[in-house]
Amino acid sequence: MDFEIIDFHMHPYLNDIDCTCIHRSAVTISVDETPRIMRENGVSKFCGSVVTHDRTSTVETDWELLKSLNDCAITLKDYYKGAYIHGCHVHPNFIEESIKEIDRFKASGTNLIGELVPWRFHYNEYASDNMKTILDYASEKGMILSIHPTTPDDMDNLCENHPNLIIVGAHPGEGEQYIRHVERAKKYKNYYVDLSGSGIHRYGATKRLVNEIGADKVIFGSDYAICNLQMYVDGVKNDYLLSTEEKRLILSENAKRILNI
C-alpha cells in the first residue's frame, strides 16, 4: 500500500562540509542528491534545520555559524520549491538575534524551529531563563519546536515551562530515555515523539509507543543524512505490528497537522 510520507526530521545541506553523513566517500554529495533520495523513498516533503559537524565555533562565534546555517536553510527552501520545510536555529546566549530569526522564518512561510542540537553549540539546557524568553515568544508566534534530547529532567522542565508550545522530541532511544519519552508524552498534551535516530530498530519499539501514547503523537523522522532514510521508511511501512491507520498517522498526518500543511 502506498502512503504519503513526510520526513519531519532530516538535515539538508548545500555543500559537503554541512552534510552529516559520516560515510561520505560511499555516497554522492550534492544539493540535488537530497530530493532524489527523498523521491526514491516516497517522501513528498522533508523538514529540519541545516546543521554541521565539521565547521567549528566558540561560545563567542556560535551565532555567526548558526546564522549562516539559517541562511542556508532559507536558500534551500527556495531551491527545493516547496518540498523542504525549513527549520531555524535559536540560541539562549543570543536572545534578540533568536527572536529576529523566528520572525524571519515565520515571514518566509514556516512555523518550525529546529531540530536544535545544543551539544554542538555550547549550551545544554532548554529550560534556562534565556531560552524561556525565546520560546515564550515562539509560542506566541505559533511556532513548533523540534529538539535533540537533553537530560530527561530538563526535557520535563521544558514542557512544564511551555504548555502551549508543540514540542517534538527526537530519538526514542531505549532504556530510561525511551521510558521518559513515554511518560512525558502521557503527561504533556503538547509533547510528541519522532522516530529518528535511535530506537526504531528494536523489535516492537514503535508499536509500544503507539500503545502507550497513541499513534497521533508519534511522528516519522529519519535523521537523514546521518541515518539511512530507506531503513526508516521500510521500518514503518512494513511493520506488521502497525495498522494501516497508525502508519498513515505516523508517516504524514501528524506532521501535516502540527505544521499546518
CATH number assigned to the domain comprising residue 145? 3.20.20.140
For residue 80, give every residue at least 6 positions away whose Cβ sits within 8 Å of its Cβ, in sequence order, or none.
Answer: 12, 34, 35
Alpha carbon distances (Å) from 154 to 99, 131, 191, 199: 22, 12, 14, 20
Number of domains in the chain: 1
Q: Indicate whether this model's pTM tops 0.75.
A: yes
CA nearest to 233, candidates 209, 206, 214: 206
d(Cα 44, Cα 31) in Å, to the nearest integer?
A: 17
pLDDT in tens, the chain (261 residues): 799 999 999 999 999 999 999 999 999 999 999 999 999 999 999 999 999 988 999 999 999 999 999 999 999 999 999 999 999 999 999 999 999 999 999 999 999 999 999 999 999 999 999 999 999 999 999 999 999 999 999 999 999 999 999 999 999 999 999 999 999 999 999 999 999 998 789 999 999 999 999 999 999 999 999 999 999 999 999 999 999 999 999 999 999 999 999
CB burial readout 92-120, b (16+ within 10 A) else e: bbbbeebbebbeebbeeebbbbbbbbbeb
CA nearest to 76, candidates 30, 121, 116: 30
Burial class (CB in 10 A: 0-12, 13-18, 19+), 240: exposed
Q: What is the pLDDT of residue 160?
A: 97
Q: What is the pLDDT of residue 73?
A: 98
Q: What is the pLDDT of residue 210?
A: 98
What is the amino acid identity at position 254?
N
Q: What is the pLDDT of residue 128?
A: 98
Range of the domain at 74: 5-259
Q: What is the pLDDT of residue 198?
A: 85
